[in-house]
Amino acid sequence: MPNKLFIRALSLPETEEQTLSDFQWALYALGGQKLAGGVAAQFDDVQQLLDQNSIDEIQIIGLIPANMINSTQVSIPGKQSRFVQQALPFAVEEQLAEDIDSVHIALGEKLSNGSYAVEVINYKRFESYFEALTNTGYPVSAIYSDASLLPLQGVDAVIGFEDDWALVDIKPGTVSRVKLFNLVSYFESVLLDDEPADEHKKQVSCYIPPSQLDSLKLVMAELQQTEGFEWVSHDLNVPMIDLLCESWFQQGTKGINLCQGDFKIASAAAPSLKKWKAVAAVAAIWFVLQVGVDIGKGYYYQQEAEKYQQQALQEYKKLFPGERRVSVNNLRRTLQGKLNSASSAQGSVDFLALLSETGYQYSKLPNNQAVEFKSVNYSDQRQELTIELRASSFQQLDQLKNSLTDAGLGAKISSAINEQNSVRGRLSVTGS
């Protein structure tokens, strides 16, 4: 099973870029053990470490700063995923300050309050980050907003402090990344919409780096003045990206995977293609050999077919020495015409014979889908088959008539009327 390489963008470019730069990364084994990590200026720095340790079984999980996304909730009637997806842009549009066509929308699970969690991000900026991850050469498993991976189990909200930023995840389905000076007002505006009861205080976990304990005393004091909440502080002795990664392993795939719609990943669990190189090489060799054998057989069979065609032509000329226009290409049609003429002379040309030959010539007609049979009539007294048909042009009717004539039948177009975008005509077919 592949290792997980978490790549957390410190910022997203305003314009399209195809390479990663200035990002945090952490490499974890499948069981959740950290193998390596740090900050890199470009992906080549990470690639060098992977090559040195012969690590090639990797899936990438991308993390986007939560302040780059708009986290919201929408109410959409219906349960079928297809209808929910169709209604999603209209439900989100009223909450956006930018054109709906310029954003990428990711739909989350249905929440306990009946609404759907939704995350919205600028389309071009997300496309740039997605392409940058894809161009590393490793499969992309998922992309999340970083705050959505905070450890939220057992509490109502989580705040993770990182320098002058705070990552926030509030149940149900609200994530963000805000500046410290704006944290108190943001937190209250989101969480105080639902007034907590005195007997049931909401639980809030705060992850604070020891180096920021003194600088955050004032912020924590302001937060703790809010009534109806119980605050629990934890020392954050690891980088924020490690907290997010370990939380991902402990509580499973939480958060909204932004790889949806145009960025949907066909199989996030697909194994690395490198292990299939040997199989692909063998398959390629087998394919080349098989094609060579088929070409050789084809050439042999073609030579045999041409030999038999020439023999058949010589036999025909022995029977009809006066024929000058017959060739290998029209031998079958000419012979069929003579057989039809012989049958007609014996008075055995009937409806089925005429219809069969007409159908055969029709099947050989180029673009015969444009020729439509409207009615078929047969006169036993005249031994004449009359077909009402419609074609896209008169040339098609004439081509069908000529084919029947070349086959030894009598054929004529008794009427042809030009209509809009088509020609309606009547084709009469007889035994001679």
Q: What is the pLDDT of residues 314-335, one digit of tens each?
A: 877 777 777 777 787 777 777 7
| Domain boundary pick from 271, 292, 307 | 271
Q: Both 260 and 354 in a single domain?
A: no
Q: Both 160 and 308 in a single domain?
A: no
Domain contains 276? no
Determine how many CB atoms are found less than 10 A away from the CB of residue 72. Answer: 17
Determine how many CB atoms are found less than 10 A away from the CB of residue 114. Answer: 10
The total of structural domains in the chain comes to 3
Determine how many CB atoms are found less than 10 A away from the CB of residue 398. Answer: 15
> What average pLDDT does this structure show over 117-131?
89
pLDDT band at 407; cut points 50, 70, 90: confident
Domain contains 97? yes
> What average pLDDT does this structure show over 266-294?
71
Q: Both 96 and 189 in a single domain?
A: yes
Domain contains 409? yes
Q: Both 179 and 68 in a single domain?
A: yes
Q: Both 7 and 97 in a single domain?
A: yes
Query: Which pLDDT value is given to residue 238?
Result: 92
Question: Who contacts 349 (Cβ-Cβ below 8 Å, separation ≥6)?
Answer: 340, 343, 383, 430, 431
Query: Which pLDDT value is given to residue 159?
Result: 93
Q: Both 352 and 378 in a single domain?
A: yes
Distance CA 401, CA 91 (A): 61
Contact of 333 with 407, CB cutoff 8 Å: yes
Q: Both 74 and 210 in a single domain?
A: yes
Torsion of CA 21, 36, 121, 188, to 10 degrees: -120
Choice between 220 and 415, residue whose per-residue pLDDT is larger: 220
Distance CA 278, CA 229 (A): 60
Query: Which pLDDT value is given to residue 212?
Result: 92
Distance CA 149, CA 139 (A): 20
What percentage of residues in the chain have a pLDDT greater than 90? 18
Q: What is the CATH number of the domain that holds 51?
A: 3.30.420.380
Of 181-195, 303-317, 366-380, the range with the lowest mean pLDDT is 181-195
Contact of 202 with 230, CB cutoff 8 Å: yes
Print the domain residue range for 53: 3-271
Domain contains 69? yes
Q: Both 225 and 310 in a single domain?
A: no
The backbone torsions φ and ψ at residue 235, rounded to the nearest 5 degrees and listed phi first, read -75, 125
Determine how many CB atoms are found less than 10 A away from the CB of residue 246. Answer: 17
| DSSP one-letter code for 272 | P
Strand partners, 170: 157, 174
Query: Which pLDDT value is given to residue 252?
Result: 66
Q: Both 149 and 29 in a single domain?
A: yes
Q: Both 365 and 217 in a single domain?
A: no
Q: Both 319 and 335 in a single domain?
A: no
| Domain boundary pick from 271, 289, 311 | 271
Domain contains 424? yes
Q: Both 245 and 293 in a single domain?
A: no
Domain contains 211? yes
